[in-house]
Structure 1
Amino acid sequence: MTTPVRRSSATARAAVVVPGVFVAVMFAWPLVALVRRGLADDDGTGIYELITRTGGWHLLAVTLAQAAASAVLTVIVAAPIVWLTATVDLPGSAVLRVVVTVPFVLPTVVVGVAFRALLTGPLDFLGVSDGWAAILPAHIFLNIAIVVRVVTAAWRQVDPRTVEAARSLGAGRIRAFVDVVLPRVAPAVAAAATLVFLFCSTSFGVIVILGGGTARTLETEIYQQAIGYFRIPEAVALSLLQIVVVACALVLARVVGGRTASGGRLALGRDHRSQPRGIGWLPVLAVLCWTAIWLLSPLVTLALASLRPAGSWTLDGYRGLAADAYGGSALDAMRYSVTSAVAAMVLAVVVGLVVALSVTRGGGWPARVTALLAVLPLGVSAVTLGFGYLLVVGTLPTQVTQSPLVIPAVQALLAVPVVAGIMIPALMQVPARLRDAARSLGARPVRVLTSVDLRLTARSLCAAAGFAFVMAIGEFGATTFLARADTTTLPVLIGSLMTRPGEANLATAMAASMLLVVVSAAVIAVIEIVGEGSRPVRYERTG
C-alpha cells in the first residue's frame, strides 16, 4: 500500500505548480511592479519618511482602531444569531442562512448605497448620514456571516452530554454555558473576530461612500496618493505598510484557526438542536427581529428607495437600466458581469481544487506555502492590487491587455481562497481507505479523484462554485482599474453613477444595486437548498 501513497504525494507536489504559477502571475507580479515603479520614482526619501509625510502612522492607528471596533461590535451583534442557528431547530432555517450570508457576498458599493438610503431615509432622525457612525454599522452588516458560520460550526461540535453532565451537577443554564460551551467556542470566536478585523482593515468601498470625505484609512489614502495626486512613492510606502499589517493578521488568523480546528470534541451522529415550544418561542422571535433589524432593514430600505428615489413612486430607475446614457446600459454591464463571473468561477474552482488536493494529499511544504500565498489576496488592498495591475497592463502587448480573460482572472484570484477553504475540510473527511480500495482495484489517479473524492464532496464543490460566482460578480476594487467601456461590470457602473449628480443617476444606481442583491440572494439560496437536501457525509471518530 506504500506505492500508491508515494505516487499520490509526488502527484500532489507536482500539482502545486499550477496554483503556484497562477498566484505568482496574478498576485506577486502586480505587487512587484508597483514596488519597482515606486523605487524608480523615489527621490531618495526613505520609506519611514514617506509614511510620515503622508500621515501614515496616524492612519495606521485609525485603520487598526476601526477594524478592531468593527470586529468587537460584529461579534456582539452576531452572538444572538449564533445562539439561534447553533441550538434551535427552526423551521425554514435555510431562509435564515440565506439572510445571514447574502450581505457578506454583496459588493461593498451596494452596501454603501443601502446604508446611505437607510441613514438618510427611515433613520434620518438620528442625524447620522456619514462618518464612522455610519461606517461601523455597515461593517457589522457585511461581516455577521463570518461570525455566525464559524462560531455556529464550533458550537455544534460541543458534545451536549457534557452540558447535560454540568446541569445534573446543579449548574444552571448560564453557568453550564460559561463553564462548558464558552471555553470550547472561544477559539472560534477569536478566529472569526480576526477574520472580520482582516477584512475591515482593507475596507474601501464602504468608507468611500459613507466616509463623507472625513473618514480616512490606509486604504483610502493609498487611492488618494496614487490616483488623486499620482504620488507613486508615497502610495507604495503606504501599500507596504498595509501589506505588513495584513500579513500579521493572516498569521494570527491561521494560528487561531488552527486552534479552532484542533480543539474540542466533535458531536457525532445526530443533530442536537431542539425545537422551540410554548414560551421558548419568545427568545426565538426576539432574535429573529434582531436579525431582521440588522440584515434585512438595509436591503428593504434600498428596495423601497429604488422605487422612491425622489419621494414619489416611480419605475424610472429600473427603466434606466436599459438606457445607453452611460457609455453602455446597466443591462449590458450585467450581462458582461455574469459572463465574466462564470469564467472566473471556473478558473477559481480549478485552481482552488488543485490547492485543496495538494494540501490533503500530502503535498508537503510546497503545498502549505502555496495555500498560504493563495489566501493573501483576500486581505491585501484591492486598491493596491488594482493599481499594480494597471502598471502591469500598461507594459503588455495590446492583444494581452484587451483579452477577455484579464478581468475574470483577477476576479478568480480573489475567489480561490474561498474555494480552497471550502474544499480542504471537505476532502479531509474522505476516508483514505476508499482511495486505497479504488487504487487496489486498478483505478487510475483521475478515476480515483472523480469516483471517490469529487463524488463524496460534490455538494461542497457546488457551494464553492456558487460562492466563487457571487464574489466574482460583485468584485469592485481591482476591477475598477481594469474596466473599459466594453468591459464595465455592474459594480463599477454603480460606483460611477453614485459620483454623478442628478436623481436619474441615483435611481438607476439603486435599481442596479437591487439587481445585484437579487442575483446574489438567488445564488446563495440555491447553495443552501442543495445543502439542505443533501446532508454531508458524517464520519464518526472512534477511540
Structure 2
Amino acid sequence: MTKTYVSRFTHHVSRITFHVSRFTFLLPILFFILFYFYPLGAIFKLSFAPAGGLDTSALAKLVRNSHYLRVLWFTTWQAAVSTLLTIALALPGAYIFARYDFAGKAAIKAVSTLPFVLPTVVVANAFTALLGPRGLLNGWLMAWFNLPHPPIQLTHTIWIILLAHIFYNYSVALRIISSYWQNLPPDLEHAAKMLGASPAQAFWRVTVPLLKPAIVAASMLVFIFCFTSFGVVLILGGAKFATIEVEIYRQAVNLFNLPVAATLSLIQIGFTFGLMWLYTRTQSNMARPAKLKSSRTLQRTVRTATDRRIVGGNLALMLLMLATPLLALVLRSLWGENGFTLAFYRELFINRRGSLFFVPPAEAVFNSTAIALTTVIFAVVLGSIIVLMLTDARSRRARW
C-alpha cells in the first residue's frame, strides 16, 4: 500500500516537473516573439504596407535617391578603413602579449578593455576634451606658440570618427588575435629563417597565414561594430556624415518619415545578419587550429634591449591611443580658468535652471545600476534556459 502511494506521488511530481519545464522552455520563445519577431514584423508592415496595402514607394525612394546610396557607401568605406587601421595597430600589441611575459601584463590587458565598454557620450566628450577647438592639445599649442586659432581642426571630420573607432575596437582585435597567437608554435617561422627568409618575409609568408583565422574573425567583428556605428558618427561627425543608423535616426526623429526609416532599418538588419553569419563562420575556423601549444612554453621574458624597445614601444602606443583621451577628460573636469577646481563636480548637485528633467547624480547612478542588474538577471536566466534547450535537443539527436 505504501509503495502504491509513493509511486503515485512520484508520478504526480514527475508530471508537475514536466509541465513546469515545458512552461520554462516557453519563456525564451515568448521573449523572442514579443521583443524580436513582433517589432521586426511591425518594421516590415511599416516599410511595405504603411496604409494597409502593399506599397513599395519607400523602397523605390531609397533606390532612386542618390543620397541614400551615398549613405550606404560612406557607411561601408568608413567601416572598412576603421577596420584596417584597427587591425594594423592591434597586431604589434597582440605580438607582445602573445610572445612576451612581463610585469603587469594581465592588468594591462584587462584595463585595455575599458574603452570598449564606455558609453558613446563619454568617448565623444573625451575626444573633444583632447582634440576639440578648446581641447587640451589645442590649448597647449596655442599657449606655447602664441597662436590666435586652434591649429588642430579635427572636430566634425572623418579623422576624429576613425580615431574614435580605433579607440573603441582596439581591445577587441587585441584580445582575439593575441589569444590565438599565443598558442601558435613558432617552429615554422624559425624554420623559414633558417632557410634564409628575413624576419619580414617569415612574418608575411608564415605567421600571417597561420594567424589568418584570428585576423579575419577580428576584422569581421570590428567591421560590424563600425558599420553599425551611431553615437560616434552622430556626435563627433556632425551633420556632414551619416551612417545607415544615423540616417534612420534622422528620418524617424527629425523628419518623422517612418516608412523610409523602417526600410533603412530592414537594410541594416540584412547587412548585420549577413556580417554576423560570416563572423560565425570565421569563429568556427578559429576553434580548430592545427598543433596548438601551451602559451607558457612559448612566451619569453623581457631580457635584451631589443625586447625592451619592442615591449615598451607597444605599451607606449597603447597608452597614447587608449589613455590620453580619458586623461584629458579627467583633467578638463578638474581644471578651470583659474587652475585646479572642483566647481564642475559641485554643479552636478545644483539645478540652476529649475529644470523638470534634472536628475541628481545619486539617483542617476541608482537608475543605471538597477537597469544594468535587471538586464543581467534576465539575460542570464533566458540564456541558461536556451542552453538547456539546445543541450537537451542535441542529446536527443545523439540517442536517435
* TM-score interval (norm. to shorter): 0.7 to 0.9
Aligned residue for 2:378?
A: 347
1:80 aligned onto 2:92: yes
1:97 aligned residue:
109
Shift of 1:169: 4.5
Flag the 1:158–1:356 CA change in 2: closer, same or farther, 3 A.
Answer: farther
1:7-18 to structure 2, matched below 5 A, reads 17-18=26-27
Which region of structure 1 is more displaced relative to structure 2, 136-145 or 203-212?
A: 203-212
Once the 2 structures are TM-superposed, how far is the Cα of residue 172 of structure 1 from its aligned partner?
4.5
**What is aligned with 1:122?**
136
Shift of 1:72: 0.8
Q: 1 CA distance for matches of 2:152 and 2:234?
A: 21
What residue in structure 1 maps to residue 68 of structure 2? 56
**Cα–Cα, structure 1 residues 133 and 345, in superposed 2: closer, same or farther, change >3 Å?**
same
Cα shift at 1:188: 0.9
Alignment equivalent of 1:200, drawn from 226, 242, 246: 226
Amino acid corresponding to residue 288 of structure 1 in structure 2: L
- The 3 A distance-change label for structure 1 pair 178 and 93 is same
Taking structure 1 as reference, are residues 37 and 351 closer, same or farther at Cα in structure 2, changes over 3 Å only?
A: same
Equivalent pair of 1:56/1:238 in contact (CA under 8 Å)? no
Distance apart, 1:364 and its partner CA = 4.7
User: Any idea what the Cα deviations from partners look like across 1:359-408, whole Å, max 9, x if unmatched?
Assistant: 5x3635999xxxxxxxxxxxxxxxxxxxxxxxxxxxxxxxxxxxxxxxxx
Check the 8 A contact 2:43/2:266 in 1, yes or no. no
Cα deviation per residue 1:13-37 (whole Å; 9 max; x = unaligned)? 9986543432332222223223334
Deviation at 1:302, TM superposition (A): 0.7
Q: Distance in 2 between matches of 1:230 and 1:35?
A: 17
* CA distance 1:134–1:270, change in 2 (3 Å): closer
Q: Is there any run of 5+ residues in structure 1 with no aligned partner, and where?
A: 1-11, 368-543
Q: Helix, strand or coil for the counterpart of 1:157?
A: coil
Taking the TM superposition and a 5 Å limit, the aligned residue runs for 1:286-297 are 286-297=313-324
Separation in 2, partners of 1:20, 1:262? 32
Q: 1:35 to 1:365 in 2, by over 3 A?
A: farther
Is the 1:70–1:136 Cα contact (8 Å) retained in structure 2? Answer: yes
Distance (Å, rounded) in 2 between the aligned partners of 1:145 and 1:104: 7
- 2:98, 2:295 within 8 Å by CA — same for their partners in 1? no
Deviation (angstroms), 1:293: 0.7
3-state SS of 1:211 partner: helix
Q: Does 1:262 align with 2:288?
A: yes
Name the aligned partner's letter for residue 317 of structure 1. Answer: F
2:213 matches 1:210: no
| AA of the residue aligned to 1:35 | F
On the 8 A contact 1:113/1:209 being kept in 2, the answer is: no
Matched, 1:106 2:118: yes
State the partner residue of 2:44: 35
Equivalent residues in 2 for 1:63-74 (5 A)?
63-74=75-86
- Shift of the 47–212 alpha-carbon distance from structure 1 to 2, 3 Å rule, reads closer
Correspondence 1:224-243 to 2 at 5 A? 224-243=250-269
Q: Distance in 2 between matches of 1:77 and 1:316?
A: 38
Instruction: Report if aligned partners of 2:131, 2:137 keep a CA contact under 8 Å in 1.
Output: yes
Change (3 A) 1:20 1:224: same
Note if contact 2:183-2:295 (Cα within 8 Å) is conserved in structure 1.
Answer: no
How many residues get paired? 356
State the partner residue of 2:11: none
| Cα distance, 1:126–1:104 mapped onto 2, change above 3 Å | same
The higher radius of gyration belongs to 2
Aligned residue for 2:369?
Answer: 338
Q: What letter corresponds to residue 326 of structure 2 in structure 1?
A: L
AA of the residue aligned to 1:75: I
Letter in 2 for 1:40: P
**Cα distance in structure 2, aligned partners of 1:37 and 1:311:** 55
Match for residue 305 of structure 1 among 325, 329, 332: 332
Structure 1 residue 250: deviation in Å?
1.1
The CA distance in 2 between the partners of 1:270 and 1:18, in whole Å, is 44
User: Normalising by the residue count of structure 1, what TM-score does the alignment of the two structures yield?
Assistant: 0.60
1:186 and 2:197 matched: no
Change (3 A) 1:174 1:250: same
* Deviations 1:256-307, CA, capped at 9 Å, x for gaps: 2222222333224744211111302011111111011100011101111111
Counterpart-to-counterpart distance in 1, 2:295 and 2:361: 49
Shift of 1:352: 2.7
Q: Contact 1:54/1:234 (CA < 8 Å) preserved in 2?
A: no
Offset from partner CA, 1:496-539 (integer Å, 9 cap, x none): xxxxxxxxxxxxxxxxxxxxxxxxxxxxxxxxxxxxxxxxxxxx
C-alpha separation in 1, matches of 2:23 and 2:282: 30
Q: Deviations over 1:131-160 (max 9, x none)?
A: 211111000100011101111111122124
Aligned AA (1:308): W
Within the candidate set 143, 167, 172, 1:146 is matched to 172
Superposed counterparts of 1:160-175, under 5 Å: 160-175=186-201
Q: CA deviation at 1:168?
A: 4.7
The amino acid that maps onto 2:350 is: A
Q: Give 1:87 deviation, angstroms.
A: 1.0
SS at match of 2:238: coil
Instruction: Return closer, same or farther for 1:278/1:263 CA change in 2, 3 Å cut-off.
Output: closer
> Contact conserved, 1:118 with 1:302, CA < 8 A, in 2?
yes
Q: Distance in 2 between matches of 1:90 and 1:14?
A: 52
Specify the code of the residue in structure 1 equivalent to 2:43.
L
Give the alignment's TM-score, normalised by structure 2: 0.81
Unaligned runs of 5+ in 2: 1-20, 139-150
Q: Which of 350, 355, 359 is matched with 1:323 structurally? A: 350
User: Hey, what's the Cα distance between the residues in 2 that align with 1:37 and 1:45?
Assistant: 10
**Aligned equivalents of 1:356 and 1:227: distance in 2?**
38
The yes-or-no answer on 1:252 pairing with 2:305 is no
Could you say what the CA RMSD is over the residues aligned between the two structures, in angstroms?
2.9
Identity among equivalent positions (%) equals 33
Secondary structure of the residue aligned to 1:322 is: coil
Distance 1:181 1:54, change over 3 A: closer
